[in-house]
Structure 1
Amino acid sequence: MVKIVDYKTYQKEDGKEFYALVVQGGIEAVTSQETNRTYLTIKEAKVACTFNEDMCKAAIGTELEGRIERVETEPYQYTNQDTGEVITLNYRNEFISAQEDILRNNVINSEVVA
């Protein structure tokens, strides 16, 4: 289960605006690779939508069936908004709907079947 917690405004190359909803998963315990200590975190992802700004505002607080999954990507630069530090990442967080999760885990790819 994820919850819509915010929305962001973006601009297309043609100048038109569109919106993305910010969704958060539940609290997760993870182990630091540097200190080997456990800490708590929440994964967050942005999901493009066809909503206008009023609809985005109204959607905040809504819960959706699904989860947030880390997906590997080509390396890219990311600037931490709080510290200004620039780091290189090779992943992004992606919202996986409950329906998509069922398909991923239960449908056999035709290439696999002999």
Structure 2
Amino acid sequence: MVRIIGFKRREKEDGTPFFTLELQGGVEMVKSLETGQFYATAKKANVTSTFDEATCKALIGSEMPGKIVKKVVEPYSYVVKETGEELVLNHRWIFVPEGDEETIQDEAIDQLMANPSSFSRNGQQELAEQAI
């Protein structure tokens, strides 16, 4: 399940306004690579909508069946607001409705097939594992 936690007003190229809904998944515990300590976090994603502002406000707190998953995309620049640091990312977090899991599986296979370093080139398993 994901929860609608907010919304944002955006504009199309022609200046027409529309709203996106901000979704958040459940709490997850992640182990820090630097400290080895666990911390709580939640994945977030934005989805476009056809709703007006009043409807978006009314939807905050609503839950929907589905999950937020990582999708590999073409690299893009992202600036961390707090520090001004510019990062190059190659993924986005997207919402996948419940029952659409085959889409996730198909994308995972496509990503694996698109990365030839995932496979051994000499038939030795240990080298294939190192490439991952």
- The TM-score, its normalising length taken from structure 2, stands at 0.72
The CA deviation at 1:35 is 4.2
**Structure-2 residue corresponding to 1:88:** 88
| Residue pairs, 1:55-66, within 5 angstroms | 55-66=55-66
Structure 2: segments with no counterpart, 5+ residues:
106-132
The CA deviation at 1:37 is 3.8
Aligned residues: 106
Please give the per-residue CA displacement for 1:47-92, whole angstroms capped at 9, x wherever unaligned: 1010001100000000000000011111111111222221111110
The CA deviation at 1:39 is 2.3
- The TM-score, its normalising length taken from structure 1, stands at 0.83
**Counting helix residues as a fraction of each chain, which structure ranks higher?**
2
The alignment-based identity, stated in percent, is: 43
> What value does the CA root-mean-square deviation take over the aligned residues?
1.9
Q: Distance in 2 between matches of 1:37 and 1:89?
A: 25
**Counting strand residues as a fraction of each chain, which structure ranks higher?**
1
Q: Distance in 1 between matches of 2:91 and 2:31?
A: 18
The CA deviation at 1:32 is 3.1
Aligned residue identity for 2:20: A
Structure 1: segments with no counterpart, 5+ residues:
107-114
**Structure-2 residue corresponding to 1:32:** 32
Q: Distance in 2 between matches of 1:80 and 1:34?
A: 19
- Structure number with larger C-alpha Rg: 2
Q: Distance in 2 between matches of 1:36 and 1:13?
A: 45
Q: Is the alpha carbon distance of 1:20 and 1:105 closer, same or farther for their aligned partners in structure 2, counting shifts above 3 Å?
A: closer
